[in-house]
Amino acid sequence: MQEYGLKNASANLAAAGLNVAIAHWNLSPEVLTQKTIELGQGVLNDTGALCVSTGKFTGRSPKDKFTVKDAITEHSVDWGDVNIPIAPETFDKLYDKVCAYLSGKEVWVRDAYACADPKYRLNIRVVNETPWANLFCNDLFLRPTEEEIKSQNPDWLILQAPGFLADPATDGTRQGNFTIVNFTRKVILIGGSAYTGEMKKGIFGVLNFVLPHDHKVLSMHCSANEGKDGDVALFFGLSGTGKTTLSADPNRALIGDDEHGWADGSVFNFEGGCYAKCIDLSAEKEPQIYNAIKPGALLENIKFIEGTHTVDYHDGSITENTRAAYPIDYIANAKEPSFGGDPKNIFFLTCDAFGILPPISKLSKGQAMYHFISGYTAKVAGTEVGVTEPQTTFSACFGRVFLPLHPTKYAELLGKKLEEHPDVNVWLVNTGWSGGAYGTGHRMSLKYTRAMITAAMNGELDNVAYAPHNVFGVQMPQAVNGVPSEILNPRDTWSDKEAYDKKASELAGLFVKNFEKYADQANEEILAAAPKVNVEVTN
């Protein structure tokens, strides 16, 4: 085996069962970019970022993600359509097949780690079949120093072989591609898909098990930032709720944009970079992301304006899931290292296309746990084929597909944190519709939403009067600086109050129905926070 680059002198791929011809260790972004171009696997755009195609898969394949069911996971993982079991012996045979496939090939190896808080550091070794996938790992995971690399040993191994296709008839998979997590061997095995997000979310899933299960640390699918006084804010929200836009604040330092842990006295980023959607990206709308697309960054599945190397960010012909990967320090106001203290404010963002939820409201501990498990937003007509009316979307803990444990485990950890820190405020923010549902009302003004979030973070809502929502029970502030008071109670914005009451009851019913699958493991405090269906209202 020929080996090049910086490595721990004792590091040995043979110990992992790999007998490759050439191993490139911890190469720089510049060299990985150049190697990709030499191999004909990518080109530069006009700002110097590397542009590649991930091939057949331009997104994750959740139905092809498996977890090995063994002594560690059998009684702790929430098995079902999200966590699909696979036998240890099936994994072992497939692992050996992937090693045999890589035998005699050229591979790209990277030592990295997850978790910016040193107490929870998880060392990772990644073996990739392509140099650009290794660049992605450099950008997305935390980067050890050269001195650390010389002594670092991996806690987990990611083995990624996009060119290897499984045989479902003999390998126990659904089709040719697969991602398998083995908590006993501490391996993430990926085959048949070059989509880099499988590696990122594979480690996220590992941390979503290890941190809550072993350390009682709350793992979270959220962004986080910090004010000049050290006050930390968390932003949870599904796609389309404004999470990226609202957490990107030039007056606050970015801790991270996607994955965090909340330990005693610490909110910390799991990652060392960002994996941003870039469909319809513009310098005006999202200048931080736009300016981060430079040498060392990776663009996936984009198209160029014809005859140029200028990216057409409006072109979604390959996929709407076009992505940019880059180190977090490409964001001007990113905090290094990427952690802060306990949060002061937590925002659950929802785009309520029914126009029912208040633009901002304060949650009790029980309500926070209930809405955390619910993870609600709504799709509007036109976003997907066949969607003609607003449709509810519920994703437990704002990231159900990444949770190995039952969602109530994460909600109970959140509740415990809120008990320990009673000064933490939890807010439900509706960035969706006001004055009626989609088609009748209008989208909440971003200017007003920003003003409400700023007021909450500045403590301006600590001493204002509140009134409870008649159906959802959340507390609505009666005054917010810079925001018209008439929009703070959504019922007041509807011309037809009876229509509002009817629609509010319908939405409450959808919440209750969604929660049925979690109710048997939810405590009384969570259950009591459910919205009230068929509430009588008097003017």
Decide if pLDDT at 121 tops 50. Answer: yes
**pLDDT value of residue 535:** 55
Three-state helix/strand/coil letters over 324-362:
EEEEHHHCCCECCCCEECCEEEEEEEECCCCCCCCCEEE
Decide if pLDDT at 176 tops 60. Answer: yes
Q: Tell me if residue 143 is catalytic.
A: no
Decide if pLDDT at 351 tops 90. Answer: yes
Q: Tell me if residue 362 is catalytic.
A: no
- What is the pLDDT confidence band of residue 473, given thresholds at 50, 70 and 90? very high
* 112 vs 125: CA distance, rounded Å: 6
Three-state helix/strand/coil letters over 382-425:
CCCCCCCCCEEEECHHHCHHHCCCCHHHHHHHHHHHHHHCCCCE
SS3 260: strand
Q: Tell me if residue 244 is catalytic.
A: yes
Q: Which two tokens stand for residue 286?
A: 């999202």
**pLDDT value of residue 386:** 52
DSSP letter assigned to residue 252? S
Residues 6+ apart with CB under 8 A from 100: none
Write down the catalytic residue from 196, 223, 244, 434. Answer: 244
Q: Which two tokens stand for residue 212?
A: 């809550």
Length of the chain: 539
Q: Which two tokens stand for residue 80?
A: 């079902």
Write down the catalytic residue from 60, 97, 110, 125. Answer: 60
* Diameter of the chain measured on Cα atoms: 80
Output the average pLDDT for the chain. 95
Q: Tell me if residue 513 is catalytic.
A: no
CB 456 within 8 A of CB 363: no
DSSP letter assigned to residue 114? E
Query: In whole angstroms, what separates CA 129 from the centre of its chain?
Result: 25
Q: Which two tokens stand for residue 367?
A: 């309500």
Q: Are strands 466-468 and 475-477 parallel, antiparallel or unpaired?
A: antiparallel
Decide if pLDDT at 340 tops 80. Answer: yes
Q: Tell me if residue 258 is catalytic.
A: yes
* 57 vs 178: CA distance, rounded Å: 11
Write down the catalytic residue from 201, 365, 379, 469. Answer: 201
Q: For 423-431, what is the mean pLDDT?
A: 97
Decide if pLDDT at 180 tops 60. Answer: yes
CA-wise closest residue to 180 among 308, 54, 92, 306: 92
Q: Tell me if residue 309 is catalytic.
A: no
- What is the pLDDT confidence band of residue 240, given thresholds at 50, 70 and 90? confident
Decide if pLDDT at 539 tops 70. Answer: no
CA-wise closest residue to 112 among 120, 103, 123, 101: 123
Write down the catalytic residue from 24, 69, 97, 323. Answer: 323
Q: For 11-19, what is the mean pLDDT?
A: 96
**pLDDT value of residue 384:** 46
* 276 vs 322: CA distance, rounded Å: 8
Q: For 196-214, what is the mean pLDDT?
A: 98
**pLDDT value of residue 144:** 98
Q: For 68-80, what is the mean pLDDT?
A: 98
CB 477 within 8 A of CB 360: yes
* 171 vs 190: CA distance, rounded Å: 13
| pLDDT tens digits, one per residue of 364-402 | 999 999 999 999 999 875 444 455 578 899 999 999 999
- What is the pLDDT confidence band of residue 44, given thresholds at 50, 70 and 90? very high
Write down the catalytic residue from 65, 97, 243, 362. Answer: 243
**pLDDT value of residue 410:** 97
DSSP letter assigned to residue 16? G
Burial 490-500 (b: 16+ CB within 10 A, else e): bbebbeeeeeb
Please name the amino acid found at residue 170. Answer: T
> Nearest 5°: CA angle at 164, between 160 and 166?
110
* 536 vs 539: CA distance, rounded Å: 10
Q: For 39-56, what is the mean pLDDT?
A: 98
Write down the catalytic residue from 24, 110, 221, 491. Answer: 221
| Helix, strand counts (H, E) of the chain | 13, 30
Query: In whole angstroms, what separates CA 363 from the centre of its chain?
Result: 23
Q: Tell me if residue 239 is catalytic.
A: yes
